[in-house]
């Protein structure tokens, strides 16, 4: 009994004493403080507090709690914890509330310790299971500063609700982090054991006043072996991203695809102070890689300042090197073209070394119509010692195309342009320059060369020491044009400048000289500059001098682009008072004033239209004053009058006087009103025009009228010297309506003329009538015109809108005598449609030519230039309009040609098509139906002569020619051939010539029969003189044959010649320049079977070496030329 009593006492003591002790320790504030202090004493980290309150069994708090470790620090003014100990009975640690106020959290960087293989391999052995589940209902961290390593402190508020079960699964019900400018929330689940499978949703919102609003929504799924994330950007950006990470804890590899949908980066560029650049992205960026390598493949459309560019290609990073693989950049805006970029940038971890090449076929700068073709830019070298090489063909910058090549060296403190060369045939301009910024910025440059036959020279030496600009010398000349600038933009000094031309025809249509001289005052960091014009003179050939009557200044504000020109007065010997102009721009208001009296109109014609074939005489009075609002494009005030009464328009034969010629314009409220009047009493000509608009805005309403009558067309004769117009009348009644940007015209225009002759072609139109009529609804003029051309009748119908540059005309006629000159007569029956759409002219239909006579007048013997000759200053004229053609030309049975030894009849049909900026192509056949070709007095019969077009350029037809000669008798003992002739097949570029005869003969024998009607060697001594004369006076037929062969085979020489007085030595020679100095020539005997080879080499301009080899031997000569 004693033992049982003792055991019962022990058990009772355990159940009573231990709970009593635990309650006394955890259930009282004193006991709880003792437990906390003992726990802190044995803790491996430093934990301190000022005051403890509460009980560990229920709710407790710390005042001024501080926790310190090597990598972490935490302190707070108050930490409160409230939990439910009874939840332990159900296997859970439940914390109702944790609250931390007014604290700091610091994360410090520590020296990384290498992980051994066991630690790395132990990752997949991690398995965490909790003895009790943990449930934190609410954790609040408020008014707390977070220090992340070396970054500035950030004030954050954190709210957390999370639960972890005994299997190690953590569920984040909410994790909300709030910053002054950013809020973030996380929801999801994650395992604490390998492979740490997780599924998390995050949302981040940026609402900073310094940056655009942005929302980022992400979904993260996967485990430590593979993680997949899907992200979407909204608000200021519209994009989505999908990324996959493989083995992030071992050998990390990743792939990513991002989709950008019209994402406007402009607000972000402004936020980072990158200027006012407008940038929009649209497209995809794909990538893949690992920790030490990456590959990106963009396929984007980038819009910069409303101009699109497409970017595609591949960028690869590996081993501290970036490789650019076929990065394609193309644009179709102001800059049109395609760049292809390839290369490498290595040593990115130290001093990068670049080797990148960019190439392009054609790049067009549309506003200036400047074209760069076959371009290549190479950049190579270390980042602090780069070399660049550029080459390209440039068209549109100068009047003629040229080739640009340059080489440059870029160092850390200087740029050395070692070579800059512009070459164009014999025009070569070379430049070199050095820019140094080791202290101040200095520029030294030199330009030499020749252009358009005139020397080019220029030197520049200048420096910039903020904010002052010093120009030691800036001078240059091109032929008779020169400029000179020197001085400084600094306090007490000025820049002096001078422009001079001793021959204006080199740079303009003007003939004469010009001079301008002045100064520039100001400092670059000040907002205002003064450009002084002290002297200005213009002396036009045949006219008196135009000059500046007094010095004037242009005051320019670089800050707001305001400027002012005061009293710019231009004098002329025959002007009673000078022409004076004043301009003043203040903010959006531009004021102007100009007046002049008795200005000679012929002096203005010399400046504006000097090449006109007619002359203008008379005086002009001008008085203009007003102001305009540039932003609203409205006139605030305008009073303008131009009077040129009694103006005479004259040619060598006739003169027309305009007794009245006036223009008046003035403002009416916010709009503009203008009138024009012209009268020529001798011609019965009266013109009255009126137009009015509410403002200059595009949508402003437009109204006006135009009335015109003329009892004679003599004025048109003077203005159009290419035609001769007989008696006739013209009238117009036009009403103008619509808006400024979409004007409409209605009314009627009539023209009658008894005869119109196109002087160059001899085309004569009789009884011509024309009418244009339109109503106000369409604004399109209906066109009706007819007349007689020869004995045929021409009719034109259609419609035309001159304002919109749109129209369509149908041209029909029968047996029209289109051309009637001594050497050319053509009758045609057109069925054509001509269409105009902006800058595109389309020609479609049929052109039947039933009758033609082509008999060119005799041409003098002439020689053509060698293939290596290039015409100097040859200009290529470009048309304003593009053309598109689909025309079928048919030749009738009465088309005859007699020219260059050929006489015969041709016939056929050819369909001609052409697309804009492409050569014309043909489909069809043009052939000789009957004809003969005469050479050396011998007639060859053309049995077949076809030019075949099978959808090829008109300059590249196929050939199918066959000529024969009838040899009736021969003075030699040889029997004449039954048939003899030549065939030409192939194409114009590669013709194939073959000779034939029955019975078969050698080529030299066939040529002798064709050219002379006799076999080789059959001419006697008496006949040699006749044959020699025939060779010397072969005339046009010889030249036509040889020139045709030269052009066909791209030869420099094809000729018939004899190196002796014996006609039997006559040979056919062909020659070709292999280089400008080396020339070879080969001859084959036409009478005797001989051959000759000649080589000629120019040692100097005057010394030539010549070698001759033939069957008789070989020899050489040195030929020295002496010019007298």
Residue 862: band (very low, low, confident or very high) from pLDDT cuts 50, 70, 90: very low
pLDDT tens, position by position, 868-893: 444 444 444 445 567 888 888 888 88
Q: Of 200 and 803, which is predicted with more confidence?
A: 200
Question: Is the pLDDT at 644 greater than 90, yes or no?
Answer: no
Question: Is the pLDDT at 1021 greater than 70, yes or no?
Answer: no
Alpha carbons 169 and 394: distance in angstroms, whole number:
70
CA-nearest of 703, 641, 642 to 671 is 703
What is the average pLDDT across 902-921?
82
Query: Which of 178-192, 218-232, 874-888, 1013-1027 is predicted with the least confidence, judged by mean pLDDT?
Result: 1013-1027
Question: Is the pLDDT at 1106 greater than 70, yes or no?
Answer: yes
What is the average pLDDT across 587-597?
81
* Phi, psi at 999, each rounded to 5°: -70, 165
Alpha carbons 410 and 386: distance in angstroms, whole number:
5
What is the average pLDDT across 889-917?
80
* pLDDT of res. 936: 55
How crowded is residue 230: how many other Cβ atoms within 10 Å of its Cβ? 13
DSSP string, 776-814: TTT-PEEEEEEEEETTEEEEEEEEEETTTTEEEEEEEES
* pLDDT of res. 38: 81
| Burial of 1007: CB neighbours in 10 Å, binned 0-12, 13-18, 19+ | buried
Q: Quote the mean pLDDT of the chain.
A: 81
Question: Is the pLDDT at 858 greater than 60, yes or no?
Answer: no
pLDDT tens, position by position, 599-612: 787 777 766 776 67
Question: Is the pLDDT at 12 greater than 80, yes or no?
Answer: no
Q: Of 496 and 742, which is predicted with more confidence?
A: 496
Range list of H helices, 208-277? 266-271
How crowded is residue 973: how many other Cβ atoms within 10 Å of its Cβ? 7
* pLDDT of res. 946: 80
Question: Is the pLDDT at 6 greater than 70, yes or no?
Answer: no
* pLDDT of res. 1028: 45
Q: Of 576 and 324, which is predicted with more confidence?
A: 324
Listed in sequence order, the residues at least 6 apart from 185 whose beta carbon sits closer than 8 Å to its beta carbon are 174, 175, 176, 177, 202, 203
pLDDT tens, position by position, 67-78: 888 888 889 988
Question: Is the pLDDT at 574 greater than 80, yes or no?
Answer: no
* pLDDT of res. 1041: 55
| Spatial contact of 691 and 663, defined as CB atoms under 8 Å apart | no
* pLDDT of res. 215: 92
What is the average pLDDT across 419-431?
87
Instruction: Return the structure tokens found at 365.
Output: 């700068």
Alpha carbons 28 and 654: distance in angstroms, whole number:
129
Q: Of 1107 and 483, which is predicted with more confidence?
A: 483
pLDDT tens, position by position, 357-372: 999 999 988 877 889 9
Residue 23: band (very low, low, confident or very high) from pLDDT cuts 50, 70, 90: low
- The structural domains of the chain, with segments of one domain joined by +, span 1-43, 44-194, 1031-1124
Listed in sequence order, the residues at least 6 apart from 869 whose beta carbon sits closer than 8 Å to its beta carbon are none
DSSP symbol at 17: H
Strands (E), 468-562: 468-478, 481-490, 493-501, 512-521, 528-540, 545-548, 552-557
* pLDDT of res. 867: 41
Query: Which of 93-97, 765-769, 869-873, 1080-1084 is predicted with the least confidence, judged by mean pLDDT?
Result: 869-873
First to last CA, the chain: 160
Alpha carbons 126 and 122: distance in angstroms, whole number:
7
pLDDT tens, position by position, 335-355: 888 999 999 999 888 889 999
| Burial of 393: CB neighbours in 10 Å, binned 0-12, 13-18, 19+ | middle
Residue 779: band (very low, low, confident or very high) from pLDDT cuts 50, 70, 90: low
Query: Which of 149-153, 240-244, 639-643, 1052-1056 is predicted with the least confidence, judged by mean pLDDT?
Result: 1052-1056
Residue 1: band (very low, low, confident or very high) from pLDDT cuts 50, 70, 90: very low
Listed in sequence order, the residues at least 6 apart from 29 whose beta carbon sits closer than 8 Å to its beta carbon are 52, 53, 54, 55
Cis peptide preceding 417, ω within 30 of 0 = no
* pLDDT of res. 792: 84
SS3 10: helix
* pLDDT of res. 607: 66
pTM above 0.75, yes or no: no
The percentage of residues in the chain with a pLDDT greater than 90, rounded to a whole number, is 17
Q: Of 18 and 60, which is predicted with more confidence?
A: 60
SS3 815: coil
Question: Is the pLDDT at 717 greater than 80, yes or no?
Answer: no
- For 756-769, give the secondary structure using H, E and C: EEECCCCEEEEEEE
* Phi, psi at 123, each rounded to 5°: -60, -40
Which residues pair with residue 178 across a beta bridge? 157, 183
What size, in residues, is the chain? 1124
* pLDDT of res. 1089: 64
């Amino acid at each position: 009994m004693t033992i049982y009593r003792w055991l019962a006492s022990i058990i009772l003591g355990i159940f009573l004493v231990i709970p009593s002790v635990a309650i006394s320790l955890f259930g009282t504030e004193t006991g709880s403080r003792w437990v906390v202090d003992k726990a802190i004493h044995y803790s491996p980290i430093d934990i301190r507090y000022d005051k403890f309150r509460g009980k560990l069994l229920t709710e407790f708090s710390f005042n001024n709690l501080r926790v310190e470790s090597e990598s972490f620090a935490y302190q707070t003014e108050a930490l409160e914890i409230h939990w439910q100990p009874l939840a332990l009975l159900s296997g859970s640690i439940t914390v109702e509330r944790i609250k931390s106020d007014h604290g700091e959290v610091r994360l410090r960087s520590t020296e990384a310790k290498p992980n051994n293989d066991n630690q790395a391999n132990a990752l997949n052995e991690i398995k965490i299971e909790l003895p009790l589940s943990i449930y934190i209902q609410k954790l609040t961290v408020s008014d707390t500063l977070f220090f992340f390593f070396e970054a500035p402190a950030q004030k954050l508020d954190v709210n957390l609700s999370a639960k972890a079960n005994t299997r190690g699964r953590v569920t984040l019900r909410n994790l909300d982090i709030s910053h002054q400018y950013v809020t973030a929330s996380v929801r999801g689940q994650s395992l604490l054991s390998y492979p740490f499978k997780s599924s998390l949703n995050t949302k981040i919102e940026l609402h900073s006043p310094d940056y655009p609003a942005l929302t980022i929504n992400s979904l993260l799924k996967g485990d430590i072996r593979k993680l997949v994330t899907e992200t979407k950007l909204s608000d200021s950006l519209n994009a989505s991203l999908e990324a996959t990470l493989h083995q992030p804890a071992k050998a990390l590899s990743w792939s990513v695809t991002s989709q950008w949908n019209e994402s406007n980066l402009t607000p972000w560029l402004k936020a980072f102070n990158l200027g006012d650049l407008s940038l929009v992205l649209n497209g995809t960026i794909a990538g893949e890689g690992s920790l030490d390598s990456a590959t990106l493949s963009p396929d984007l459309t980038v819009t910069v300042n409303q101009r699109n560019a497409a970017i595609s290609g591949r960028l690869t990073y590996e081993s501290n090197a970036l490789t650019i693989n076929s990065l394609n950049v193309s644009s179709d805006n102001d800059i049109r073209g395609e760049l292809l970029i390839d290369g490498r940038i290595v040593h990115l971890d130290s001093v990068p070394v670049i080797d990148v090449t960019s190439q392009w076929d054609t790049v067009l700068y549309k506003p200036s119509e400047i074209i760069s073709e076959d371009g290549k830019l190479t950049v190579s070298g270390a980042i602090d010692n780069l070399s660049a090489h550029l080459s390209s063909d440039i068209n549109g910058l100068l009047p003629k195309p040229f080739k640009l090549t340059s080489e440059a060296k870029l160092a850390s403190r200087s740029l050395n342009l070692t070579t800059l060369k512009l070459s164009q045939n014999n025009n070569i301009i070379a430049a070199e320059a050095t820019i140094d910024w080791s202290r101040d910025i200095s520029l030294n440059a030199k330009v030499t060369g020749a252009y358009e036959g005139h020397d080019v020279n220029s030197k520049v030496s200048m420096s910039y020491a903020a904010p002052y600009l010093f120009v030691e010398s800036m001078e240059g000349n091109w032929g008779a044009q020169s400029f000179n600038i020197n001085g400084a933009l600094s306090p007490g000094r000025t820049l002096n400048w001078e422009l001079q031309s001793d021959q204006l025809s080199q740079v303009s249509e003007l003939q004469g000289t010009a001079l301008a001289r002045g100064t520039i005052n100001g400092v670059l960091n000040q907002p205002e500059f003064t450009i002084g014009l002290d002297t200005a003179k213009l002396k036009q050939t045949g006219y008196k001098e135009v000059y500046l009557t007094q010095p004037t200044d242009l005051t320019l504000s670089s800050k707001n682009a305001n400027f002012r020109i005061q009293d710019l007065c231009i004098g002329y010997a025959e002007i009673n008072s000078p022409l004076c102009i004043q301009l003043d721009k203040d903010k959006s208001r531009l004021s102007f004033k100009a007046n002049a009296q008795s200005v000679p109109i012929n002096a203005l014609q010399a400046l504006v239209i000097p090449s006109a074939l007619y002359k203008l005489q008379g005086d002009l009075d001008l008085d203009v004053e007003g102001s305009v609002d540039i932003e609203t494009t409205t006139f605030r005030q305008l009073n303008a009058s131009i009077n040129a009464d009694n103006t005479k328009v004259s040619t060598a034969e006739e003169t027309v006087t305009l007794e009245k010629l006036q223009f008046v314009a003035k403002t009416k409220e916010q709009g503009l009103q203008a009138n024009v009047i012209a009268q020529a009493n001798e011609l019965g000509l009266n013109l009255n025009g009126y137009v009015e608009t509410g403002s200059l805005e595009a949508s402003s309403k437009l109204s006006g009228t135009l009335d015109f009558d003329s009892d004679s067309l003599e004025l048109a004769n003077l203005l159009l010297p290419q035609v001769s117009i007989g008696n006739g009348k013209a009238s117009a009644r036009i009403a103008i309506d619509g808006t400024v940007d979409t004007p409409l015209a209605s009314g009627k225009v009539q023209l009658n003329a008894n005869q119109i002759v196109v002087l160059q072609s001899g085309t004569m139109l009789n009884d011509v009538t024309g009418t244009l009529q339109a109503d106000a609804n369409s604004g399109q003029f209906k066109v009706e015109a007819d007349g007689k051309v020869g004995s045929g009748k021409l009719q034109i119908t259609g419609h035309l809108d001159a304002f919109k540059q749109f129209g369509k005309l149908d041209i029909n006629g029968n047996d029209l005598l289109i051309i009637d000159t001594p050497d050319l007569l053509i009758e045609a029956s057109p069925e054509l449609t001509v269409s105009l759409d902006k800058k595109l002219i389309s020609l479609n239909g049929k052109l039947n030519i039933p009758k033609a006579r082509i008999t060119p007048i005799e041409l003098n013997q002439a020689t053509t230039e060698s293939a290596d000759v290039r015409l100097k200053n040859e200009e290529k004229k470009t048309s304003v309009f593009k053309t598109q053609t689909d025309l079928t030309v048919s030749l009738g049975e009465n088309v005859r040609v007699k020219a260059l030894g050929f006489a015969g009849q041709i016939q056929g049909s050819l369909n001609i098509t052409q697309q804009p900026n492409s050569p014309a192509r043909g489909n069809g056949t043009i052939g000789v139906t009957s004809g003969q070709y005469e050479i050396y007095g011998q007639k060859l019969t053309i049995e077949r002569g076809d030019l075949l077009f099978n959808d090829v350029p008109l300059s590249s037809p196929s050939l199918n020619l066959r000529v024969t000669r009838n040899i009736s008798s021969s003075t030699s003992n040889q029997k004449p051939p039954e048939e003899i002739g030549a065939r030409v097949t192939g194409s114009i570029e590669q013709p194939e010539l073959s000779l034939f005869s029955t019975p078969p003969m050698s080529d030299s024998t066939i040529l002798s029969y064709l050219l002379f009607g006799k076999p080789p060697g059959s001419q006697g001594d008496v006949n040699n003189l006749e044959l020699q004369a025939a060779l010397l006076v072969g005339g046009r037929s010889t030249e036509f044959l040889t020139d045709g062969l030269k052009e066909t085979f791209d030869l420099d020489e094809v000729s018939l010649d004899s190196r002796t007085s014996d006609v039997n030595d006559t040979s056919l020679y062909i020659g070709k320049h292999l280089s400008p100095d080396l020339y070879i020539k080969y001859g084959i005997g036409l009478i005797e079977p001989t051959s000759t080879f000649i080589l000629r080499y120019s040692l100097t301009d005057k010394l030539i070496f010549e070698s001759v080899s033939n069957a008789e031997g070989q020899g050489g000569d040195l030929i020295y030329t002496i010019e007298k």
